[in-house]
Structure 1
Amino acid sequence: MTITSWLLDIPILPLAFEFASPGPIIFKLGPFTLRWYGVLIASAVLIGVALSGYLAKRRHLNPEIIADLAIWLVFAAIPSARLYYVLFEWQEYAQNPADIFAIWKGGIAIHGAILGGLIASLIFARVRQVPFWQLADIVAPSLILGQAIGRWGNFFNSEAFGAPTNLPLKLYIPPPQRPPEYANFEYFHPTFLYESVWNLMVFGILMFLFFRGLQGKPPLKVGTLFLTYLVFYSIGRFWIEGLRTDSLMLGPLRIAQVVSLVGIILGSAGLVWLYLFKRNLPDVVSANGNNLESDSENY
């Protein structure tokens, strides 16, 4: 018997690669219900605010402005994420309108959150007279880290999974959560895990660029971190979305893949604009003499 075949005969080995949600609820106390989904979203927000404040200080920017922006982002991103999802699943919610506000059951779209956050950030930057791209660069690492954390909410809700699979790494889905066409299958691609791991990799890239930029090797142009986030996150989301069984659709098109392609194109074009054409990104205010206490086109 070879070592490989011996290892494969160990009963506990396959179990190490199988995931099964313990359920969406942590505990209930009377009318109060604490759900994993809400805890993870709240944790992602708190960790993101703390990280963005730390990054702002490292770049000698005003952390109070970042804290103020965080409030805008929370109030804009979460409703936008829900609205985006509901609009593309309107046939279902039209029959159950009370579920539109039941966000604890899942059903938010990160692209909706990003869109709402971008609009809120642009308005915030204009009102407070601070450069949008500096804000975006500070928030980008926190955003992708929050996405990595938030994906585990899909795990506890047994949602956002992929097609059936027999690979060693697989996710058990309870019968009520399985699509009708896959009712006889037990195990599915854990796409929540794929994206969470991918997002952590992107987070590592952004943090590496951030600290390299602090050393000026090479100087990091304003907007680089957010554009890099946009490109790399979109690449991962595009291929992972192709595995999922519950994609938001517009006719034959998976909406997330279309949006991801747009993100790749826009992010790549922005980086070419910065580094090949050596031009600055258009902004709502000038980068000079701003309230972020930074007057440089580079970091």
Structure 2
Amino acid sequence: MTSTDVLRFGLVGTGPWARRTHAPALAAHPHTGFTGVWGRRPEAAAELAAEHGITAYDDVDALFAACDAVAFAVPPDVQAPLAARAAAAGCHLLLDKPVATQPAAARAVVEAADAAGVASAVFCTMRYASAPSAWIAEQAAEKGWFTGRADWYGALYTPGDDAEVRASTPWRAERGALWDVGPHALSVLLPILGDVVAVTARRGAGDTAHLVLRHTSGASSTATLSLTTPRAAAGTTVELRGPAGALTMPLGGTAQESFAVAVDVLLESARTGVAAPCDARFGLRLTEILAAAERSLESEGTAHETEGSEHKTEGAAREPGA
């Protein structure tokens, strides 16, 4: 494809994120032809299709056959097998995070994408938001970071929360903040501090999980993840400490803006054949690390090595103490 080609894009999912973020961004993007949608609730797919003047598919494989690329807005363990089928059908993949909650399922997506030679990108929001992504790239170029912390305090289950999201995404309540916002935290820490070689996790109040991570660079980091924070205390903070001082990541941008950039990244990867930084293999690595953290939670804080993927994240090649 060339920089001016338009790819036929399909959407899998009809929930609030699909309606509020994925569908509007795909419809507005100059290099996507928003072709069709499939959902587990046909009536919701028909409603979304009517809103955007596209086709509602009853058969997900028919959607894949009609598209060049597919965006996913479904629970992770629904997403993974469907993404593998989409890749086998020759579709480029714009995946939601986490790719899956089981490493084997995430690995199957990677293998299917590799076998088909299709591009992939995982929608880790901060990696596509303008100010955070620029800050991450700048700090990844610095050397000698001593430690970092990534705190994601969400208030999804408190009075005044987004009741529609809560009701339509029960997997978040079932799997907790570790799997919902954990990928966001890791997607920021890994490109700066390097891959994670060991993780220890302990439970806090509600669904809160506290992680201690050891990185290949020699640095350590912590992550606090919660969806059950009191609303007045909710917020996101990422901080690094090292020779450059103590630096805090800027926030900003909308989900639709970030998703449009993720589409750009996928299109560029499809055009050039160069893997995107947050591709399916990176998504697999996030699943492997979070699975190790989950095992640590289940064993009351025992440290677990994060064996698995050989994916190299930005910064992972630094020598300890570099």
User: As a proportion of its length, which structure holds more strand?
Assistant: 2
**TM-score, with structure 1 as normaliser:** 0.28
Q: TM-score, normalised by structure 2?
A: 0.27
Q: If you compute each CA radius of gyration, which structure gives the higher value, 1 or 2?
A: 1
Per residue, is there more helix in 1 or in 2?
A: 1
